[in-house]
Amino acid sequence: MDTKEFRQRGREMVDYIAEYMESVGERRVTPDVEPGYLRDLIPSKAPYEGEGWPEIMADVETKIMPGVTHWQHPRFHAYFPSGNSFPSILGDMLSDGIGAIGFSWAASPACTELETIVLDWLGQMIGLPSDFLSFPENSIGGGVMQASASECVLVCLLAARAQKIKELKALHPFVEDGVLLSKLVAYCSKEAHSCVEKAAMIAFTKLRILDPDADLSLRGATLAQAIEEDKAMGLVPFFVSATLGTTSCVSFDNLAEIGPIAEEAGTWLHVDGAYAGNAMICPEFKYLMKGIEHAMSFNCNPNKWLLTNFDCSTMWVRDRFKLTQALVVDPLYLQHSHSGKSIDYRHWGIPLSRRFRALKLWFVIRNYGVAGLQNYIREHCRLAKCFEALVREDDRFEVCNIVRMGLVCFRLKGNDNNDLNKKLLSNINESGKLHMVPAAVHGKFVIRFCVCAQDAKDSDIEYAWDVITEYATELLEAEIVKEKSGLPLDVLEHSNEEVGQVAHKVEISELMDLMERVHMPIQKQNSIASIGRQGSLASVGRQQSLAIIGRQQSLASIGRQQSLAYIGEVGNNLSEGGEQETANKPRQRPSLAKRLSKRQFSFTDTIEFVGMVNTAQDESMNP
Ligand SMILES: *Cc1c(COP(=O)(O)O)cnc(C)c1O
């Protein structure tokens, strides 16, 4: 590709991206593919001769997009937002174009200097104490960009480990490092991100996972007690990781209590604000950061909630020398004459090579301004509150977290309702209408609803709630059906083969009773189908059948596709002379269908059934 073609393809790509972002809402939010789907679509060997751009791009729409989960979709409410905005995309584009690798100041001075400056900007916006910034007089603190929060936690834990071993070494000069290491213990809450556990595992240190309080906040007293117990056993506390905005439910550890205790105990306190840390740019949330003055390090991910594309995890330390001491190795070929007065970010993290990531964050902050970014955060918080209000208005549901940021955890009420909530979530996710993920809160299965889309609107929240309540209603109705009919739901759901073995007869009286219990307007609409919502009596013959009772659950699951067939068959018998015969002929596994029709519904029952609901209209169905 030459420059001339690049100009053309580049413009086309920008158009493609703009078009994608504008119309992403028309796609299914999650892909409907099975593992390995792409293997069948893409050759197993790389092309020997280069291919033309149009052929390559054509494959994007036909092969790649069908397997993409659309994180920028207005119906995407899973995990946390994946930061994205036009200025950020342009920043990364420019960074790629420059293609510099800024591991040291000398390797590309602007790369390092812009990073330092932008981190100071953001640090001030968040309200970090001035020790965390690079530019105040005599400061030994500063900020750096890492690829992920997991990396931030790891390097801070490594720095804390190095510091503590150094301190112990001074006290016990003849004791092996390995022996000293075996005494170290770190702390975090049960609600901390799994990356803390991973970091401790990599660092080969003990980690004590503490219980948070009823609001899922780690409290000072719990930490103090653990530290005291461990010290009494001869262990050496060296690291505490507190979370502002936990991943499962965005709860906040009590930093004001933890801070002084961690500091007093001589540990390195790290504060992980991967998601909610970004919200600290709004003054109204800064109270949650009280106690930060006791921390040694802090991180948040603008690539989660500050409109900046992955990767962009920002981290600040109070003492950069304590960080770099754990990570410096300095071979001759990387040394340069300015190292005394400049920052070499290769000593601040694990990789040597670094992208020019500061550009995108700089573009975002300048283009939105602090006010624009605050509005973005506040809007997400407002919408989460709207969603929370909708959940609270419906007594079938409960809210399971304190909603402060953009996340609402909720569930169908009831103590033993984990399976029901799982089913609700999987039904919704399977539909491709919304995407959410679960979490365990107080040992209960909850559904996480996160406001994610860049320009999320009230109507998106209302739509989401409509979908959720629609599926919940169906599921709850199906539960009644299940209870009433006594059909072994699990067996029915698993496979059509198994269904064939279920010998159960549904009495018509039971079905009628059940229709009453689910309050369906049988008389008015004159349709069986209204038990579940769609279709009509005709559909007993044609498409929908009894399956409609609760759509996917309950009777519907009598052989999903097969239900069509067997009801169809029954319908045929009934509607002799009617119009639907051919359509009703079972297409798949006819023998099973036949078997089902005999086993599940007796002929007379069905006649009576159809007859009853059919009296007013559909003549063709009357025998
Ligand atoms: C998302 C998250 C992480 C992990 O972030 P990565 O950047 O993917 O490593 C860590 N901590 C918290 C609180 C998170 O929400």
| pLDDT, tens only, 479-496 | 877 766 655 544 444 444
Average pLDDT rounded to a whole number, residues 178-197:
96
Domain boundary residue, one of 368, 396, 422: 368
Residue of 152, 156, 191, 195 to test ligand 1 pocket, by largest number of atoms within 8 Å of CB: 195
Locus of tokens 């990073």:
115
Q: How many CB atoms lie within 10 A of CB 425?
A: 21
Q: For 125-134, 336-345, 609-618, which range has the lowest pLDDT when averaged over its residues? A: 609-618
Average pLDDT rounded to a whole number, residues 312-334:
85
Please name the helix (run of DSSP H) or strand (run of DSSP E) that holds residue 160, with its range, or none: helix 149-171
Domain boundary residue, one of 320, 350, 368: 368
CA-nearest residue, atom 8 of ligand 1: 148
**pLDDT classification of 342: cutoffs 50, 70, 90:** confident
| pLDDT, tens only, 393-437 | 999 999 999 999 999 999 999 878 899 999 999 999 999 999 999
Q: Is residue 30 domain-shared with residue 133, that is, in the same domain?
A: no
Average pLDDT rounded to a whole number, residues 277-285:
98
Residues β-bridged to residue 216: none
* pLDDT at 584 > cutoff 50: no
| Measured distance CA(437)–CA(545) in Å, rounded | 32
Q: For 275-279, 410-414, 572-576, which range has the lowest pLDDT when averaged over its residues? A: 572-576
The answer to the question of residue 330 being in a domain is: yes
Domain boundary residue, one of 29, 58, 73: 73
Which residues in 456-482 are b (16+ Cβ under 10 Å) and which e?
A: beeebbeebbeebebbbebbbbbbebb
272 lines ligand 1 (CB under 6 A): yes
Q: Is residue 61 domain-shared with residue 113, that is, in the same domain?
A: no
Q: Is residue 187 domain-shared with residue 325, that is, in the same domain?
A: yes
551 lines ligand 1 (CB under 6 A): no
The answer to the question of residue 440 being in a domain is: no
The alpha helices in 320-397, defined as continuous H runs, are 320-325, 358-393
| pLDDT, tens only, 534-568 | 333 333 333 333 433 333 333 333 333 333 333 33
Q: Is residue 37 domain-shared with residue 141, that is, in the same domain?
A: no
Residues 6+ away with beta carbon under 8 Å from 518: 477, 480, 481, 531
pLDDT value, residue 328: 81
Closest ligand 1 atom, residue 244 Cα: 13
**pLDDT classification of 284: cutoffs 50, 70, 90:** very high
Comparing CA positions, the residue from 425, 462, 393 lying closest to residue 74 is: 462
| Measured distance CA(400)–CA(411) in Å, rounded | 7
The DSSP secondary structure of 268-293, one letter per residue, reads EEEEE-TTGGGGGGSGGGGGGGTTGG
Q: Is residue 100 domain-shared with residue 39, that is, in the same domain?
A: no
Q: Is residue 55 domain-shared with residue 130, that is, in the same domain?
A: no
pLDDT value, residue 327: 84
Bin 431: left if φ > 0, else alpha if -120 < ψ < 50, else beta.
alpha
**pLDDT classification of 335: cutoffs 50, 70, 90:** low
Tell me the three state secondary structure of residue 72. coil
The answer to the question of residue 85 being in a domain is: no
* pLDDT at 323 > cutoff 60: yes
Q: Is residue 136 domain-shared with residue 60, that is, in the same domain?
A: no
Closest ligand 1 atom, residue 192 Cα: 13
C-alpha angle 319-222-244 in degrees, rounded to nearest 5: 50
Among residues of the chain, what percentage have pLDDT more than 90?
A: 69
Higher pLDDT, 517 or 164: 164
**What CATH number corresponds to the domain at position 163?**
3.40.640.10
CA-nearest residue, atom 15 of ligand 1: 247
pLDDT value, residue 479: 80
| pLDDT, tens only, 150-171 | 999 999 999 999 999 999 999 9
The answer to the question of residue 231 being in a domain is: yes
Q: Is residue 259 domain-shared with residue 344, that is, in the same domain?
A: yes
| pLDDT, tens only, 103-148 | 889 899 999 999 999 999 999 999 999 999 999 888 899 999 999 9
Q: Is residue 117 domain-shared with residue 157, that is, in the same domain?
A: yes
Residues β-bridged to residue 441: 444
| Measured distance CA(56)–CA(42) in Å, rounded | 11
Tell me the three state secondary structure of residue 151. helix
pLDDT value, residue 417: 86
| Measured distance CA(158)–CA(202) in Å, rounded | 9
Q: 543 — phi, psi (to 5°)?
A: -130, -45
CB-count exposure of residue 582 (10 Å: 0-12, 13-18, 19+): exposed
Closest ligand 1 atom, residue 273 Cα: 13
Number of domains in the chain: 3
CA-nearest residue, atom 5 of ligand 1: 149
Comparing CA positions, the residue from 440, 562, 417 lying closest to residue 497 is: 562
274 lines ligand 1 (CB under 6 A): yes
150 lines ligand 1 (CB under 6 A): yes
Closest ligand 1 atom, residue 313 Cα: 7
Closest ligand 1 atom, residue 152 Cα: 9
Locus of tokens 């439910």:
249
Q: Of the spans 97-101, 296-300, 352-356, which averages the highest pLDDT?
A: 296-300
Comparing CA positions, the residue from 311, 271, 314 lying closest to residue 125 is: 314
The answer to the question of residue 375 being in a domain is: no
195 lines ligand 1 (CB under 6 A): yes
Q: Is residue 611 domain-shared with residue 484, that is, in the same domain?
A: yes
Average pLDDT rounded to a whole number, residues 59-76:
96
CA-nearest residue, atom 12 of ligand 1: 274
**What CATH number corresponds to the domain at position 25?**
1.20.1340.10
How many CA atoms, within 13 angstroms, populate the side-chain half-sphere of residue 376? 27
Closest ligand 1 atom, residue 153 Cα: 10
Comparing CA positions, the residue from 389, 405, 384, 380 lying closest to residue 455 is: 380
Determine the distance separating the centroid of ligand 1 and the alpha carbon of 210, expressed in angstroms: 19
Closest ligand 1 atom, residue 311 Cα: 7
The answer to the question of residue 454 being in a domain is: no
Q: How many CB atoms lie within 10 A of CB 131?
A: 18
Residue of 196, 272, 297 to test ligand 1 pocket, by largest number of atoms within 8 Å of CB: 272
Determine the distance separating the centroid of ligand 1 and the alpha carbon of 175, expressed in angstroms: 36
Domain that holds residue 161: 96-368
Q: Is residue 59 domain-shared with residue 100, that is, in the same domain?
A: no
| Measured distance CA(266)–CA(499) in Å, rounded | 64
Average pLDDT, the chain: 82
The answer to the question of residue 437 being in a domain is: no
| Measured distance CA(7)–CA(53) in Å, rounded | 13
The answer to the question of residue 383 being in a domain is: no
Q: Is residue 138 domain-shared with residue 25, that is, in the same domain?
A: no
Determine the distance separating the centroid of ligand 1 and the alpha carbon of 150, expressed in angstroms: 6
